[in-house]
Amino acid sequence: MKILAIETIDVSASAALLENDTVVASQTLLPGQRSAQYLAPMVRDLLASVNWKANDIQLVGVVQGPGSFTGLRVGIAFAKVFAYAAEAEIIAVNTLDLLAENLPEEVKKVSIALDAQRGQVIARNFNRNEAGFWVPEGEMKMLELDDWAELSEGSWLAGPVLAQKRKYLPENIRTVPEEFWLPSIEALGKNVFRKYQEGERTDLWNLLPIYSRPAAAEERRMEALKKG
């Protein structure tokens, strides 16, 4: 099976091509290159590098979020159009679930968070089961940064938020090594192949981004409704 994996949780982007669970090519946009402008050319060049055509792709994997508004909109729109045009199936993966996939084996319990701005994070806790797979504890939660560290006592901490906020957290907390803070495009490709084998599919027509929080305009509208 030929797979295209796409990750755009920020304004940048990564993409990979896989044959089943083997990565055959991958690329990440350079600093300053924005997904809205460079994602499509990057995928085109990746396909050309391995002599694949767009119609060769049978499965598209994409990160659904949480993440940035612009990045997720671009990535999911591209993934949906590509999958439709190539008549490929599509599987979307939650960002926090994906970040858990690539953690070292010694990590058995972890709380993973993304920066939600305004001093807050969106986080989810995971436990590794006896088979070695991650099981989420409840739903994603919006928390103050300090509350995340306090409520996650006994767990490792992970996620992109650490790149900006680690210095504000207590020194005694355990964080996974820095190379595991960001999502891995290779892990995404392998994750969607496994989900495909397990029978999971995402409905192309109902696939929407999961944002860290509502857009500012939406928040103002909701606040106005509350005030009557």
Q: What is the dihedral of CA 101, 166, 127, 213, to 10 degrees?
A: -80
Query: With 50 as the cut, is the pLDDT of residue 222 above it?
Result: no
Say how far apart CA 128 and CA 132 lie, in whole Å.
6
pTM of this prediction? Answer: 0.88
**DSSP track, 89-103:** EEEEEEHHHHHHHT-
pLDDT the model gives residue 199: 96
Residue count (the chain): 228
Domain coordinates of the chain in residue numbers? 2-94+183-224, 103-180
CB crowding 78-108: b at 16 or more within 10 Å, else e: bbbebbeebebbbbbbbbbbbbbbbbeeebe
Say how far apart CA 14 and CA 176 lie, in whole Å.
22
pLDDT in tens, 28-70: 998 888 888 899 999 999 999 999 999 999 999 999 999 888 8
| CATH number given to 2-94+183-224 | 3.30.420.40
pLDDT in tens, 133-172: 899 998 999 999 999 988 887 899 999 999 889 998 988 8
pLDDT in tens, 104-128: 989 999 999 999 988 899 999 999 9
Q: Is the domain covering 103-180 a CATH 3.30.420 domain? A: yes
CATH fold match for the domains 2-94+183-224 and 103-180: yes
